[in-house]
Amino acid sequence: MNYALVDQDTLLKQKISLQEFLLFINQLQIPILQYRDKQGSLAQIESQLKIIRKLYTGTIIVNDAVELVGLADGVHLGQEDLLRFASVKRDAVRNIRQAIGNKIFGLSTHSKEEILEANELEIDYIGLGAYRPTGTKSDAQVGGEALLEIAKLSKHPVALIGGVRLDDVFGEFIEYNVVGSDLCSAFHKRKEYDVG
């Protein structure tokens, strides 16, 4: 199942309006969307989440901004972001879970060790990547096919991320194909086709 990663910085660089992009994602019937804005203030992210809530018909996950989970259906955090909530990951997860209640909680993982650690945490899914090189996170370590093997160790559903394409098929151990840059490319191709 495809999972849309909507990165605000990428939208700006590619000159794509959030509103048009959301309509495109709805047309593709992508059931889950994560909104990520690493540069924006909480007020800016809140404003964008309100637009997403109004225009997008699926499940909304906010990246990092636990404070804004009231405008979303869940939150996704990276390993390093957990430490804002406690110095021990298990305590951080417990604190976040108390803050978000029964909403969806996703956690990024990058290795066998992080997957095994996540198996003991009260989360709903793991993000696992990067699968392929990507332009949005130049420091991401690319795991390639090896990630498909370690995904089998997860007790939680796995969302494969990083260079994932809309037409990728990975098999039973990958629940979600997190598509970002390829979604932007498809958007531009559709726009060119519509104009031509």
In the chain, % of residues over pLDDT 70: 94
Has residue 195 got a pLDDT over 60?
no
pLDDT tens readout for residues 12-50: 999 999 999 999 999 999 999 999 999 999 999 999 999
pLDDT value at residue 190: 86
Domains detected in the chain: 2-195 (3.20.20.70)
Stretch 105-123: mean pLDDT: 97
Has residue 110 got a pLDDT over 90?
yes
Contact 101, 114 (CB under 8 A): no
Tell if the pTM clears 0.85, that is, is over it: yes
Has residue 150 got a pLDDT over 80?
yes
